Amino acid sequence: MGVAFNLGISAETALAATLLVSLLAAGGCAPMHQDAAQRALAAGRYDDAANEIEAALAHDPDSLQLKKLAGQIYTQRGVAEYNDQQMLAAGDDFHRAINYDPFNSRPYDYLGMLAFQRHAWADAIQYGNKAASMAGKPDPDYVKSARRELLKQQSGGFEPYLRPGQRPPLPQGPSF
Protein backbone atom coordinates (compact mmCIF):
# COMPACT_ATOMS: atom_id res chain seq x y z
CA MET A 1 0.00 0.00 0.00
CA GLY A 2 3.00 2.25 0.41
CA VAL A 3 3.32 2.30 -3.38
CA ALA A 4 -0.27 3.41 -3.70
CA PHE A 5 0.35 6.36 -1.42
CA ASN A 6 3.57 7.24 -3.22
CA LEU A 7 1.69 7.37 -6.53
CA GLY A 8 -1.04 9.53 -5.09
CA ILE A 9 -3.63 6.70 -5.16
CA SER A 10 -5.84 6.20 -2.16
CA ALA A 11 -5.81 2.91 -0.32
CA GLU A 12 -9.43 2.33 -1.36
CA THR A 13 -8.63 2.86 -5.04
CA ALA A 14 -5.62 0.54 -4.82
CA LEU A 15 -7.76 -2.10 -3.11
CA ALA A 16 -10.49 -1.74 -5.73
CA ALA A 17 -7.92 -2.04 -8.51
CA THR A 18 -6.45 -5.15 -6.88
CA LEU A 19 -9.91 -6.69 -6.55
CA LEU A 20 -10.72 -5.85 -10.19
CA VAL A 21 -7.49 -7.43 -11.41
CA SER A 22 -8.11 -10.59 -9.38
CA LEU A 23 -11.74 -10.71 -10.55
CA LEU A 24 -10.66 -10.45 -14.17
CA ALA A 25 -7.98 -13.07 -13.65
CA ALA A 26 -10.59 -15.41 -12.14
CA GLY A 27 -12.86 -15.29 -15.18
CA GLY A 28 -14.68 -12.08 -14.35
CA CYS A 29 -14.57 -11.12 -18.00
CA ALA A 30 -17.33 -13.57 -18.83
CA PRO A 31 -20.10 -11.49 -17.20
CA MET A 32 -18.87 -8.33 -18.93
CA HIS A 33 -18.88 -10.07 -22.32
CA GLN A 34 -22.25 -11.65 -21.54
CA ASP A 35 -23.76 -8.22 -20.82
CA ALA A 36 -22.24 -6.81 -24.00
CA ALA A 37 -23.60 -9.77 -25.97
CA GLN A 38 -27.10 -9.25 -24.57
CA ARG A 39 -27.02 -5.54 -25.39
CA ALA A 40 -25.82 -6.24 -28.94
CA LEU A 41 -28.48 -8.93 -29.43
CA ALA A 42 -31.21 -6.57 -28.21
CA ALA A 43 -29.95 -3.92 -30.66
CA GLY A 44 -29.91 -6.40 -33.56
CA ARG A 45 -26.13 -6.29 -33.90
CA TYR A 46 -25.76 -10.04 -34.32
CA ASP A 47 -22.11 -10.11 -35.36
CA ASP A 48 -21.13 -8.09 -32.28
CA ALA A 49 -23.31 -10.32 -30.11
CA ALA A 50 -21.65 -13.44 -31.54
CA ASN A 51 -18.17 -12.03 -30.92
CA GLU A 52 -19.02 -11.10 -27.33
CA ILE A 53 -20.62 -14.44 -26.49
CA GLU A 54 -17.63 -16.31 -27.90
CA ALA A 55 -15.36 -14.17 -25.71
CA ALA A 56 -17.54 -14.93 -22.68
CA LEU A 57 -17.48 -18.65 -23.46
CA ALA A 58 -13.69 -18.54 -23.78
CA HIS A 59 -13.59 -17.48 -20.11
CA ASP A 60 -16.38 -19.79 -18.92
CA PRO A 61 -16.88 -22.62 -21.44
CA ASP A 62 -19.05 -24.75 -19.15
CA SER A 63 -21.68 -22.11 -18.35
CA LEU A 64 -25.12 -23.35 -19.36
CA GLN A 65 -26.42 -19.80 -19.20
CA LEU A 66 -23.80 -18.62 -21.71
CA LYS A 67 -24.47 -21.60 -23.98
CA LYS A 68 -28.20 -20.86 -23.98
CA LEU A 69 -27.51 -17.22 -24.84
CA ALA A 70 -25.14 -18.34 -27.60
CA GLY A 71 -27.91 -20.53 -29.01
CA GLN A 72 -30.27 -17.55 -29.03
CA ILE A 73 -27.71 -15.30 -30.69
CA TYR A 74 -26.85 -17.77 -33.44
CA THR A 75 -30.53 -18.54 -34.02
CA GLN A 76 -31.37 -14.84 -34.39
CA ARG A 77 -28.43 -14.22 -36.70
CA GLY A 78 -29.39 -17.28 -38.73
CA VAL A 79 -32.96 -16.01 -39.11
CA ALA A 80 -31.65 -12.65 -40.32
CA GLU A 81 -29.36 -14.40 -42.81
CA TYR A 82 -32.21 -16.67 -43.94
CA ASN A 83 -34.40 -13.61 -44.55
CA ASP A 84 -31.54 -12.03 -46.54
CA GLN A 85 -31.25 -15.20 -48.67
CA GLN A 86 -27.80 -16.03 -47.23
CA MET A 87 -28.66 -19.69 -46.92
CA LEU A 88 -25.18 -21.14 -46.35
CA ALA A 89 -24.42 -18.67 -43.56
CA ALA A 90 -27.87 -19.25 -42.06
CA GLY A 91 -27.35 -23.01 -42.06
CA ASP A 92 -23.98 -22.63 -40.35
CA ASP A 93 -25.49 -20.44 -37.64
CA PHE A 94 -28.43 -22.79 -37.06
CA HIS A 95 -25.97 -25.65 -36.56
CA ARG A 96 -23.95 -23.48 -34.13
CA ALA A 97 -27.16 -22.66 -32.25
CA ILE A 98 -27.96 -26.37 -31.89
CA ASN A 99 -24.42 -27.14 -30.73
CA TYR A 100 -24.80 -24.62 -27.91
CA ASP A 101 -28.48 -25.21 -27.09
CA PRO A 102 -29.84 -28.49 -28.49
CA PHE A 103 -33.20 -27.95 -26.75
CA ASN A 104 -34.31 -24.98 -28.88
CA SER A 105 -36.72 -26.12 -31.61
CA ARG A 106 -36.41 -23.02 -33.78
CA PRO A 107 -33.03 -23.75 -35.45
CA TYR A 108 -34.21 -27.30 -36.24
CA ASP A 109 -37.25 -25.87 -37.99
CA TYR A 110 -35.15 -23.51 -40.09
CA LEU A 111 -32.73 -26.33 -40.97
CA GLY A 112 -35.77 -28.31 -42.11
CA MET A 113 -36.89 -25.46 -44.36
CA LEU A 114 -33.38 -25.10 -45.75
CA ALA A 115 -33.25 -28.84 -46.48
CA PHE A 116 -36.65 -28.64 -48.17
CA GLN A 117 -35.38 -25.85 -50.45
CA ARG A 118 -32.43 -28.07 -51.42
CA HIS A 119 -34.82 -30.98 -52.08
CA ALA A 120 -33.07 -32.94 -49.34
CA TRP A 121 -36.37 -34.55 -48.41
CA ALA A 122 -35.11 -36.92 -45.71
CA ASP A 123 -33.27 -34.10 -43.93
CA ALA A 124 -36.30 -31.81 -44.20
CA ILE A 125 -38.43 -34.51 -42.61
CA GLN A 126 -35.89 -35.23 -39.87
CA TYR A 127 -35.31 -31.60 -38.85
CA GLY A 128 -38.94 -30.54 -39.22
CA ASN A 129 -40.21 -33.53 -37.31
CA LYS A 130 -37.73 -32.89 -34.49
CA ALA A 131 -38.70 -29.21 -34.31
CA ALA A 132 -42.40 -30.04 -34.22
CA SER A 133 -42.04 -32.72 -31.55
CA MET A 134 -39.86 -30.44 -29.38
CA ALA A 135 -42.40 -27.63 -29.67
CA GLY A 136 -45.35 -29.97 -29.11
CA LYS A 137 -46.89 -29.04 -32.45
CA PRO A 138 -47.97 -31.02 -35.51
CA ASP A 139 -45.56 -31.43 -38.40
CA PRO A 140 -45.35 -28.30 -40.54
CA ASP A 141 -46.63 -28.37 -44.12
CA TYR A 142 -43.13 -28.56 -45.58
CA VAL A 143 -42.59 -31.88 -43.74
CA LYS A 144 -45.80 -33.29 -45.21
CA SER A 145 -44.73 -32.15 -48.68
CA ALA A 146 -41.25 -33.58 -48.16
CA ARG A 147 -42.76 -36.96 -47.25
CA ARG A 148 -44.76 -36.98 -50.50
CA GLU A 149 -41.69 -35.96 -52.49
CA LEU A 150 -39.55 -38.63 -50.85
CA LEU A 151 -42.13 -41.32 -51.63
CA LYS A 152 -42.31 -40.04 -55.19
CA GLN A 153 -38.52 -40.16 -55.46
CA GLN A 154 -38.31 -43.64 -53.96
CA SER A 155 -41.04 -44.99 -56.24
CA GLY A 156 -39.40 -43.73 -59.40
CA GLY A 157 -42.10 -41.14 -59.92
CA PHE A 158 -45.08 -43.47 -60.11
CA GLU A 159 -48.41 -42.21 -58.85
CA PRO A 160 -49.86 -43.00 -56.48
CA TYR A 161 -46.51 -42.83 -54.81
CA LEU A 162 -45.40 -46.27 -53.84
CA ARG A 163 -43.43 -47.27 -50.84
CA PRO A 164 -40.16 -49.10 -51.50
CA GLY A 165 -40.85 -52.72 -52.46
CA GLN A 166 -44.35 -52.04 -53.76
CA ARG A 167 -45.22 -52.55 -57.42
CA PRO A 168 -47.19 -50.06 -59.47
CA PRO A 169 -50.79 -51.09 -60.20
CA LEU A 170 -51.43 -52.81 -63.53
CA PRO A 171 -53.00 -50.54 -66.11
CA GLN A 172 -56.73 -50.97 -66.49
CA GLY A 173 -58.05 -51.92 -69.90
CA PRO A 174 -60.89 -50.04 -71.54
CA SER A 175 -64.17 -50.52 -69.77
CA PHE A 176 -66.84 -51.15 -72.45
Give the model's confidence band at 29: pLDDT under 50 very low, under 70 low, under 90 confident, else very high. confident
The domains of the chain, with CATH numbers, are 28-101 (1.25.40), 104-155 (no CATH)
Give the model's confidence band at 147: pLDDT under 50 very low, under 70 low, under 90 confident, else very high. very high
Listed residue (51, 45, 53, 52) closest to 69, CA to CA: 53
> Which pTM was predicted?
0.74
pLDDT of residue 2: 46
pLDDT of residue 66: 96
Determine the Cα–Cα distance for residues 129 and 109; give it in Å rounded to an integer.
Answer: 8
| Residue 104 main-chain phi, psi, to 5 deg | -95, 120
Determine the Cα–Cα distance for residues 32 and 136; give it in Å rounded to an integer.
Answer: 36
| Residue 86 main-chain phi, psi, to 5 deg | -95, 75
